């Protein structure tokens, strides 16, 4: 049993080669105080999202090892995908789960960032609650320019990495490491292949476009399926719920005569986020988390 549990959700820029992913996540297997919970790949995004939990010290070692393996196997100079990326290991968030705090996760993120640079020579930006200044809190600000533009970006004084110099890793780019709230990766698929429609809806839904406060969104072309997607990160599901973002996407899609083709959640999600949706659509009065059988079993 683990006493202090911290979650980590590293995103790797590989969604098309299962053998490569298996090698990357190997450090998360067979450890006494580290547990691999989930991993999911998307060919269109060319990206894999991994969810792992563990005690701080053991988790730190496993994450840094996995990042080193990814750096040796992923070459962003040859990488293509619908999802923005700046690193072989693009982003590494830490989330407090049990007997841990945001402050501890912030400190852990800084330790991991330092080790990534020292051991693998990959520059690191600290983001979200670990950010060294407000302009670096939002991941999209850091990632702007992506891998192709990052070599010049890090030469600017205001964009010098928190760990590392003014040169990116030639094939693995840079990595963002930080501490955040549990995030829900929630996507809404649209019954059209017109990417401009998904882009316009995403702009309306996301906070930076005047939309919902705790939503980041972008349009994505799902080429293999012949449809497009509004891909969203729900950064605080307790303040902006999944049903709010879904209903807003559906409402905006009507403007273009487009229907919703389905939705998906990438990786793991807190049970409370889905219970909130069920309570809303079923109009359950005074519904509480404690009414769930599985919730009682976990007590």
CA–CA gap between residue 101 and residue 142 (Å, rounded):
25
Q: Angle formed by the axes of helices 18-25 and 56-73, to 10°?
A: 150
Pairing of strands 11-12, 89-98: antiparallel
79 classed as catalytic: no
- Cα separation, 161 vs 176, in Å, equals 9
Task: Please say whether the dihedral angle defined by the alpha carbons of residues 209, 210, 214 and 215, taken in this order, is positive or negative.
Answer: negative
Tokens of 136: 């670096």
Instruction: Output the six-digit token pair for 74.
Output: 């992923």
Q: How many CB atoms lie within 10 A of CB 285?
A: 6
* 26 SS3 class: helix
- Contact by Cβ (8 Å): 10, 91: yes
Catalytic residue among 45, 79, 83, 120: 83
Known catalytic residues are 83
């Amino acid at each position: 049993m683990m006493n202090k549990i911290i979650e980590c959700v590293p995103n790797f820029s590989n969604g098309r080669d299962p053998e490569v992913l298996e090698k990357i996540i190997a450090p998360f297997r067979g450890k006494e105080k580290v547990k691999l919970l989930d991993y999911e790949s998307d060919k269109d995004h060319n990206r894999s999202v991994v969810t792992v939990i563990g005690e701080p010290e053991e988790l730190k070692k496993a994450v840094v090892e996995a990042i080193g393996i990814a750096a040796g196997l992923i070459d962003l100079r040859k990488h293509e995908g619908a999802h923005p990326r700046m690193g072989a290991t693009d982003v590494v968030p830490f989330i407090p789960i049990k007997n841990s705090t945001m402050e501890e996760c912030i400190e852990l993120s800084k330790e991991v960032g330092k080790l990534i640079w020292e051991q693998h020579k990959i520059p690191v930006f600290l983001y979200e609650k670990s950010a060294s200044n407000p302009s670096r809190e939002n991941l999209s600000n850091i990632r702007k320019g992506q891998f192709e533009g990052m070599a010049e970006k890090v030469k600017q004084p205001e964009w010098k990495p928190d760990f590392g110099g003014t040169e990116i890793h030639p094939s693995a780019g840079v990595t963002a490491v930080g501490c955040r709230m549990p995030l829900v990766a929630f996507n809404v698929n649209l019954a059209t292949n017109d990417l401009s429609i998904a882009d316009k809806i995403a702009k309306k839904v996301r906070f930076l476009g005047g939309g919902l406060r705790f939503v980041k969104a972008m349009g994505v072309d799902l080429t293999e399926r012949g449809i497009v997607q509004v891909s969203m990160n729900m950064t605080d599901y307790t303040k902006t719920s999944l049903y709010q973002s879904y209903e807003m996407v559906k409402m905006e899609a009507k403007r273009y005569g487009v229907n919703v083709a389905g939705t998906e959640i990438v990786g793991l999600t807190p049970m409370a986020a889905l219970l909130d949706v069920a309570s809303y659509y079923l109009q359950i009065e005074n519904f509480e988390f404690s009414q769930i059988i599985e919730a009682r079993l976990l007590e």
